Structure 1
Amino acid sequence: MILAAAALNQTPIDWENNLANIKNAIELARKSKAELLLLPELCITGYGCEDLFLSNWLPEEAFEKLLIIQEWCEDITVAVGLPIRFRDHVVYNTACVIRNKEILGFTAKQFLANDGLHYEPRWFTSWPAGQETTLERSGKSYRFGDLVYELNGVKFAFEICEDAWRGDDRPAGRHQQRGVQLILNPSASHFAMSKTDVRYHLVVDASKKYNCAYMYANLLGNEAGRVVYDGEILIAQNGNLIMRNQLLSFKNVDLECAEVDFENPMPVAEKVTPLPPIDENKEFISAITLALFDYLRKSRSRGFVLSLSGGADSSVCAVVVAEMVKRALNELGLEEFARKLNVFSVEDLEQLEFRNDFEKLQFLTGKLLTTAYQGTVNSSEDTFRSAEELARSIGAVFYNWTIDDEVKGYISKIETALGRELTWKTDDVTLQNIQARVRAPGIWMLANINHALLLATSNRSEASVGYATMDGDTSGSISPLAGVDKAFLRQWLVWAQEHLGYEALQYVNGLQPTAELRPAEQTQTDEKDLMPYPILNQIERLAFYERLSPEQVFAQMKGVEDDEQLKMHIRRFYSLWSRNQWKRERYAPSFHLDDYNLDPRSWLRFPILSGGFQEELMQLG
């Protein structure tokens, strides 16, 4: 049997886009002579509809779209995902099977994801294993529940995303007892660095353990704003990988086919072959560039604006935009690249006709990225050179101005009102913050003029301890790095210089991270203000990924540094964490790129007001 699976770049309630991608996938599968096509979870509506799933109208609209899709399924069997409101009071996450324009039934998801990014029990009801009933719609009856289907003598059934992550209780074991030879898994499994290795084993190991073929299809791209899907497609049989696609494509539809023999199946593999080691530096740039590309086009914006300080975070932001242009252009070609973004004029494209590839990249990056260095008396020549050389090397528009007059104006107003002078001894934080805040209006003006997205540059390490100025360096339409720690970003810049060819990164890679908000003679650095970033990141992970108490964190980290120094850093971390939740509530939307993030609207909720771990920190001694 020729099996096909398609990764689709869908958007919540974008019916035209979603149905066009589904139709395209069906047509491509039919041209490939596929007999069965698997599409991702909830692909008709999009997975990220959030509380719209609670409405009466959304599931009904999705069913109407299903009836349109049904007519496209001539001479092919297609599995397509949608929500079904059942008997007017509960909603199920389902996969519908259509064979030659006939709906054979709806399989409902048994296990609902309820951790990290996922809140499925808020919207859906889980279906009990082994149960089947009838769905009535417009005078017709359809099978509904935990179903087994048959095609060309091959029995197949479903595990829908989270169903496969439930260990020995997963549906696959029950399917084996029912004689199922093929398991289909339509998924909306979010991207996280190194996660593909876990997913690979969920699929390939299952095909061996349950003596079956297994086909997996994931969503693709930045669907709804924060979450990225890698579009993974896997086909395996008896522990043998038959097909695995290239992840994180810029295409709307990535369809893959493979021929699987059910009469003479592949012998059971003695050992599942592991994936090659995963390079998270490569994964990071692949994911963030796709996330930015989709965010740009789906928000109908015309580019990006960036306050380029010459430091690590803003340098990463500049490079990922340049890489976004390079990668999307290489995969899609100029015509499709321009069509999808819809920001270039006919004159723009005519100018590219006689340019070489490097000149095209420079031109397109300049059209999509505008930067500005906003210096003060506390800024250094090193950071200016770092910013200017990087912008020049990638082709970004680069402006340079100072904000000293604006800073002096605000300071003068407050000094007059208070009747005293502001000094670094008594007003350190105030004098630092006004510099960061004064940078926001000008860069926002550029964003408004360009109809562009303003990139905020905060990272996860800063977010955890509130080391950022609200309405200053946190200002932005989107904060692409807020889910990634500073230590990772610093080493990534070194990797990008060496492996991606951004030689202008030599300047930032030679600098110690600093906010440059205090006078130069104070030699301000981030780690002097906080603690070493590797220590901060380890405390953060143990505290809020592993969910350990301060005492437990100390026990885990004992020996990393002097005991008293470590206790001081733990106290500082938990204290800063507790008092800065209000900042994390106000950060611009960020991408989920690592295995956890601190966004209270997606991964980690924490009270704005709390006891601040006072008793727990006292127990450290």
Structure 2
Amino acid sequence: DHYYESDTLLHSFQVLAKLLESPVTQDIICDVGMPVMHKNVRYNCRVIFLNKKILLIRPKISLANAGNYRELRWFTPWSKARHVEEYFLPRIIQEVTGQDTVPFGDAVLATKDTCLGTEICEELWAPNSPHIEMGLDGVEIFTNSSGSHHVLRKAHTRVDLVNSATAKNGGIYILSNQKGCDGDRLYYDGCAMISMNGETIAQGSQFSLDDVEVLVATLDLEDVRSYRAEISSRNLAASKVNPYPRIKVNFALSCSDDVAVPVCMPIQWRHHSPEEEICLGPACWLWDYLRRSKQAGFLLPLSGGIDSSATACIVYSMCHQVCLAVKNGNAEVLADTRKIVHDETYVPEDPREFCKRIFTTCYMASENSSQDTCNRAKLLAEQIGSYHINLNIDAAVKAIVGIFSMVTGRTPCFSVYGGSSRENLALQNVQARVRMVLSYLFAQLTLWTRGMPGGLLVLGSANVDESLRGYLTKYDCSSADINPIGGISKTDLKNFIQYCIENFQLTALRSIMAAPPTAELEPLVDGQVSQTDEADMGMTYAELSIYGKLRKIAKAGPYSMFCKLINMWKEICTPREVASKVKHFFRMYSVNRHKMTTLTPSYHAENYSPDDNRFDLRPFLYNTSWSWQFRCIDKQVNVL
């Protein structure tokens, strides 16, 4: 909503003036993005300039308005195809360029040796992408400056779109994508690329702590022309195309004596595995958040289970990335590191040593905790190098329950001791919420006790499946400052843990992988854990991932989910069993939906995130009986 503020428009033009004046931009056709108000309508635009002259302001035609994006809230799409108007420049720009007006609209640039066209982000993904008609009209080079965020397994889609754009129609496509944390839940993962005639020529990094990356390639325009010349269907369509307005530019991208200059050859795109994406993406996001928040590190309640252990491994991966960036000469990362640890001479070289400085893990035992989970947490902390704390919460829990008993004259009991389900749940929730209070206390004061300045950010570790089901206590340890795994499924986290065993040699993770997930909030039986997550939830994590994808991505309500699952699970479940599972999921989903209103901001990694604040805008108060929908399911079961 900063786009509503006139300050944003003003400051954008001020920065544009600096870019126009900078000697760095001389003799380069520059394409920069900014909001522009034209005739009192706000547009998302590319401003293309060369040598202190604005050549064209190109407004965006297709706006992103789904999922995490709300462009139509702030901008209006340009609806006048192949139409150009005069834009009256503000005085701050007139003083630099000497221009009163510049072209504004849907046009292309004609240099001495080629023709350039611009797409903007979402337009590449649109079914009627501008590059199609531009290419038919003779545009040979397409630029796209994008704000495309990371989602697991998404990068190949972006790469395929770019390569297919030039495979059918020929041409050179230059994609630049934002990098880093946007101060919110999204992480933009770079992946700049250059493609020609359907093949990748240059590939930028997907995850990096470098704020800026420059990708270059030398290509031969004659290769584009010869490629296009033999596609007869393209040439027939090109002969009928409605031409674009051309802005003539007295400039050439090539020179007359470049015959001996070697051209770049196609390369094979190297995709990260999902486990590598989890290792690198959230780690870069955490680093951006840490350095920009100016805190001194992180505190994680480490339970010895898969979720909190995966979170710890992501922080450890972040420490690896920082040490590697400093080793490779990244001065900005080194400067940020020194600010975080409050030491102007510090150089991070060993990830474990750096982890000790900025990462505190805390095992919060109770009488319901097993020695096994305590040992697992301690061993993992030793292997990654975190500053580890062991504490016991029983005194605090008994004090809180004691206050309740003193006021009411009643003492609640766990169900194994004859208590009701209400008592049992309340006693579990007290333990969980005490851990949240202690997490923030230790985050604020742990460094103080160690004689070190600053405070710590509290990390949450609820995965996307648990959030979807609502299998968490409101205001327990799922309530934190940020959560790097809140958009990642349990299945992917298990695979990531295995990746860490193999690549970081964290052998402590083997026993964590082998143990059944448990909240450890109910009394032990003969010293052993009797409570497991999947038994508590009444569904498996694998089932939860399927429910989540059907609910959010496939937009399935109870009835359509049932219809899809009777075919998907026909080998393992009867229609009646499927109906029972679907009903149970929707009851639990709707009963717990209110918890999404307080969900900790999480790294967005899955398209079935239940995040109530920006991504999933369904209500948080439901009629949990779903009477009409469930009757429809029952009728279908009887027919089957």
State whether TM-score is above 0.5: yes
Q: Which position in structure 2 is the counterpart of 1:85?
A: 37
Q: Where do 1:294-443 residues align within 5 Å?
A: 294-333=288-327, 336-341=332-337, 342-346=339-343, 349=346, 360-424=350-414, 425-426=419-420, 427-443=423-439
CA displacement at 1:575 relative to structure 2: 1.2
- Equivalent residue in structure 1 for 2:160, among 201, 205, 214: 201
Does structure 1 residue 177 correspond to structure 2 residue 155? no
Partners of 1:208 and 1:268 within 8 A in 2: no
CA displacement at 1:579 relative to structure 2: 2.1
Partners of 2:38 and 2:115 lie apart in 1 by 26
Partners of 2:216 and 2:131 lie apart in 1 by 23
Does structure 1 residue 445 correspond to structure 2 residue 449? no
Letter in 1 for 2:334: A
CA displacement at 1:390 relative to structure 2: 0.5
- Equivalent residue in structure 2 for 1:614, among 618, 621, 627: 627
**Could you report, residue by residue, the CA deviation over 1:548-583 in whole angstroms, capped at 9, with x for unpaired residues?**
122221222222643344322211211111122221
**Could you report, residue by residue, the CA deviation over 1:297-330 in whole angstroms, capped at 9, with x for unpaired residues?**
1111110001111111110111110110102221
Does structure 1 residue 525 correspond to structure 2 residue 559? no
Q: Which of 1 and 2 has higher RCO (CA within 8 Å, sep 6+)? A: 1
Q: Where do 1:512-591 residues align within 5 Å?
A: 512-521=516-525, 523-530=530-537, 531-558=539-566, 559=570, 561-563=572-574, 564-591=576-603
Specify the SS of the correspondent of 1:591. Answer: coil
TM (norm. structure 1) is 0.87
CA displacement at 1:331 relative to structure 2: 2.6
CA, structure 1 residues 264+423, in 2 after alignment: closer, same or farther (shift >3 Å)?
A: closer
Partners of 2:272 and 2:461 lie apart in 1 by 26
Partners of 2:361 and 2:136 lie apart in 1 by 61
CA displacement at 1:348 relative to structure 2: 6.7
Letter in 2 for 1:528: A
Partners of 2:289 and 2:313 lie apart in 1 by 17
Does structure 1 residue 262 correspond to structure 2 residue 256? no
Partners of 1:204 and 1:273 lie apart in 2 by 12
Q: Where do 1:58-69 residues align within 5 Å?
A: 58-69=8-19
Q: Which position in structure 1 is the counterpart of 2:248?
A: none
Does structure 1 residue 135 correspond to structure 2 residue 146? no
Does structure 1 residue 70 correspond to structure 2 residue 20? yes
- Equivalent residue in structure 2 for 1:189, among 109, 134, 148: 148
Q: Indicate the percent of aligned positions where both proteins have the same amino acid.
A: 29
Partners of 1:60 and 1:85 within 8 A in 2: no
Partners of 1:456 and 1:475 within 8 A in 2: yes
Partners of 1:161 and 1:187 within 8 A in 2: yes
What is the RMSD computed on CA atoms of the aligned residues?
A: 2.1
Letter in 1 for 2:412: L
- 527-536 or 553-562: bigger deviation: 553-562
Q: Where do 1:267-286 residues align within 5 Å?
A: 268=227, 275=269, 278-286=272-280
Partners of 1:240 and 1:266 within 8 A in 2: no
Q: Which position in structure 2 is the counterpart of 1:603?
A: 615
Partners of 1:235 and 1:136 lie apart in 2 by 34
**Could you report, residue by residue, the CA deviation over 1:447-486 in whole angstroms, capped at 9, with x for unpaired residues?**
1224111001111111112111111122211122111112
- 412-421 or 113-122: bigger deviation: 412-421
Q: Which position in structure 1 is the counterpart of 2:450?
A: none
Partners of 2:335 and 2:500 lie apart in 1 by 29
Partners of 2:271 and 2:2 lie apart in 1 by 40
Which consecutive residues of structure 2, in runs of 5 or more, have no partner in the other structure? 95-99, 232-265, 448-454, 635-640
Specify the SS of the correspondent of 1:619. Answer: helix
Partners of 1:433 and 1:290 lie apart in 2 by 33
Letter in 1 for 2:144: N
Partners of 2:308 and 2:272 lie apart in 1 by 26
Q: Which position in structure 2 is the counterpart of 1:21?
A: none
TM (norm. structure 2) is 0.84
CA, structure 1 residues 152+132, in 2 after alignment: closer, same or farther (shift >3 Å)?
A: same
CA, structure 1 residues 554+255, in 2 after alignment: closer, same or farther (shift >3 Å)?
A: same
Q: Which position in structure 2 is the counterpart of 1:290?
A: 284
Does structure 1 residue 477 correspond to structure 2 residue 484? no
CA displacement at 1:440 relative to structure 2: 1.6
CA displacement at 1:83 relative to structure 2: 0.7
CA displacement at 1:617 relative to structure 2: 2.3
CA displacement at 1:415 relative to structure 2: 2.1
Partners of 1:158 and 1:183 within 8 A in 2: yes
Specify the SS of the correspondent of 2:397. Answer: helix
Specify the SS of the correspondent of 1:192. Answer: coil
Specify the SS of the correspondent of 1:315. Answer: helix
Q: Which position in structure 2 is the counterpart of 1:228?
A: 187
Partners of 2:35 and 2:6 lie apart in 1 by 11
**Could you report, residue by residue, the CA deviation over 1:144-190 in whole angstroms, capped at 9, with x for unpaired residues?**
111211234211011101011112x1111221233211111110011
